[in-house]
């Protein structure tokens, strides 16, 4: 199945697909400037927790490759500046911060060699490893999660968790792809996922390319379809998972989880262990608030079209938090975590 790498490091450039134009057209961009990579993450040209981690790592690679001096201290200063800029793009997906820490740690370890060239090579190598590990974990999660899908299932998914949100193949969509590739005749129900329509624009586009049957619904239709027995299982992604099993994901996830619990529909989260954050507690979890105009307007590139009165006040949290009691299981590349999650997730992290 053809999957896209939404962001890649090609020579000394970062190349990415501006997903805001999908499904109308594929607009590819490139830059040698880490600040431009940061802007692309902030503007959600590159989006999806794993993909923004990979993009941030490649941003650090640009900072290293385009630092002209040969003094190691100067190069480390440049990398710390880049890390700060990239870390200030979006606050919720832990993959971004985990990737930046990993690349910075590798750079500092490489200074023992004393040469700026060794530091540059180490940074590029670590960024590529992060990309490759994400692709490999997507495929492993796909195989593990596909066992939970039966032939004939109708699977609901929310937002976009495919190869436009990861280094390739996808998390929840990776599970759906794997089940399809195993010959299971499934059908997907994709929610539109207002206000930026990642489901209507990206998930539908990906599944159509894969030839996987998909029906698009408005976010408001989930409860009705579950009440009519039209949904067999829910599979969706995550941006940050706590050891308690609480997880942040695209706004609208929590209400789907409540409806799934009420209607006895199994509710599965699919995410690599790099999305689990063992360091913070629930009250430290930051939910990104985005531009109110995203709710007042159509999504890019029709953002000049308002769907309401221009000065209406707005709430625009980009994510919500779902409690563990609403989660059937969490599928990772290391295995499936079942409640109690503070035990099962810890065990998976300890490998």
Q: Which stretch binds ligand LNRAV4D5 (CB under 6 A): 158-166, 181-189, 224-232, 256-264?
A: 158-166
Annotated ligand binding at 102? The verdict is: no
171 binds ligand LNRAV4D5 (CB under 6 A): yes
Annotated ligand binding at 49? The verdict is: yes
Nearer to ligand LNRAV4D5, 108 or 303 (CB): 303
49 binds ligand LNRAV4D5 (CB under 6 A): yes
Q: Which of 232, 239, 311, 320 is catalytic?
A: 239
Annotated ligand binding at 199? The verdict is: no
User: How many residues are listed for the chain in this entry?
Assistant: 351
Radius of gyration of the chain (CA): 20
Nearer to ligand LNRAV4D5, 155 or 159 (CB): 159
48 binds ligand LNRAV4D5 (CB under 6 A): yes
Q: What's the CA angle centered on 101, arms 249 and 5, to 5 degrees?
A: 60
Please spell the DSSP secondary structure of 65-77, one letter per residue.
HT-----HHHHHH
Unique residue bearing structure tokens 């590739």: 181
Asked if 212 and 180 touch (Cβ cutoff 8 Å), the reply is yes
Unique residue bearing structure tokens 């190069």: 75
Q: What's the CA angle centered on 75, arms 36 and 59, to 5 degrees?
A: 25
Nearer to ligand LNRAV4D5, 47 or 194 (CB): 47
Of 83, 177, 194, 250, the one binding ligand LNRAV4D5 by CB under 6 A: 250
Question: Least CB distance from residue 113 to ligand LNRAV4D5, whole Å?
Answer: 36
Asked if 265 and 232 touch (Cβ cutoff 8 Å), the reply is yes
239 binds ligand LNRAV4D5 (CB under 6 A): yes
Q: Which stretch binds ligand LNRAV4D5 (CB under 6 A): 79-87, 98-106, 108-116, 236-244?
A: 236-244
Would you call 151 a catalytic residue per the annotation? no
Sheet strands side by side (includes 267-270): 214-217, 187-191, 154-157, 233-236, 267-270, 329-332, 335-337
CA neighbor of 268 nearest in space, from 236, 226, 229, 230: 236
Q: Which stretch binds ligand LNRAV4D5 (CB under 6 A): 60-68, 100-108, 165-173, 278-286?
A: 165-173
Rounded alpha-carbon distances, angstroms, from residue 218 to 98, 192, 222: 34, 5, 8
Question: Least CB distance from residue 338 to ligand LNRAV4D5, whole Å?
Answer: 21
Tell me which residue has its CB nearest to ligand LNRAV4D5.
237
Rounded alpha-carbon distances, angstroms, from residue 95 to 43, 147, 303, 313, 330: 17, 26, 28, 31, 17
Nearer to ligand LNRAV4D5, 40 or 159 (CB): 159
Q: Which stretch binds ligand LNRAV4D5 (CB under 6 A): 23-31, 43-51, 63-71, 256-264?
A: 43-51
Cα–chain-centroid distance for residue 22?
16
Annotated ligand binding at 198? The verdict is: yes
Residues forming the active site: 239
Residues that bind ligand LNRAV4D5 (CB under 6 A): 47-50, 159, 161, 165-166, 171, 198, 236-237, 239, 249-250, 318
């Amino acid at each position: 199945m053809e999957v896209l790498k939404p962001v890649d490091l090609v020579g000394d450039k970062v190349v990415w697909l501006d997903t805001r134009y999908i499904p109308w057209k594929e607009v590819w961009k490139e830059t040698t400037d880490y600040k431009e990579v940061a802007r692309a993450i902030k503007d959600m040209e590159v989006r999806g927790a794993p993909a923004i981690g990979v993009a941030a790592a490649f941003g650090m690679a640009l900072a290293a490759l385009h630092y002209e001096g040969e003094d190691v201290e100067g190069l480390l200063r440049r990398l710390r500046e880049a890390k700060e800029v990239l870390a200030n793009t979006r606050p919720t997906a832990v993959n971004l911060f985990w990737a930046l820490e990993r690349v910075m740690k590798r750079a500092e370890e490489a200074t023992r060699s004393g040469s700026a060239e060794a530091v540059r090579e180490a940074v590029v190598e670590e960024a590529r490893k992060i990309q490759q590990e994400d692709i490999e974990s997507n495929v492993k999660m796909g195989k593990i999660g596909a066992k939970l899908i039966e032939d004939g299932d109708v699977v609901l998914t929310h937002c976009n968790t495919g190869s436009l949100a990861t280094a390739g193949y996808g998390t929840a969509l990776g599970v759906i792809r794997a089940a399809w590739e195993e010959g299971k005749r499934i059908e997907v129900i994709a929610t539109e996922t207002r206000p930026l329509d990642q489901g209507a624009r990206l998930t539908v586009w990906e599944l159509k390319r894969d030839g996987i049957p998909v029906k698009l619904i408005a976010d408001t239709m989930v409860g009705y379809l579950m009440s009519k027995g039209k949904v067999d299982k829910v599979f969706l992604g995550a941006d940050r998972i706590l050891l308690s099993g609480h997880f942040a994901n695209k706004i609208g996830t929590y209400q789907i989880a409540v409806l799934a619990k009420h209607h006895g529909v199994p509710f599965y989260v699919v995410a690599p262990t790099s999305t689990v954050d063992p360091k913070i507690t629930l009250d430290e979890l930051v939910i990104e608030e985005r531009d109110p105009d995203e709710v007042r307007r159509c999504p890019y590139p029709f953002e000049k079209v308002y769907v309401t009165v221009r000065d209406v006040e707005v709430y625009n949290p980009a994510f919500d938090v779902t409690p563990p009691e609403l989660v059937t299981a969490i599928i990772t590349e290391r295995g499936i975590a079942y409640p109690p999650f503070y035990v099962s997730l810890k065990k998976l992290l300890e490998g």
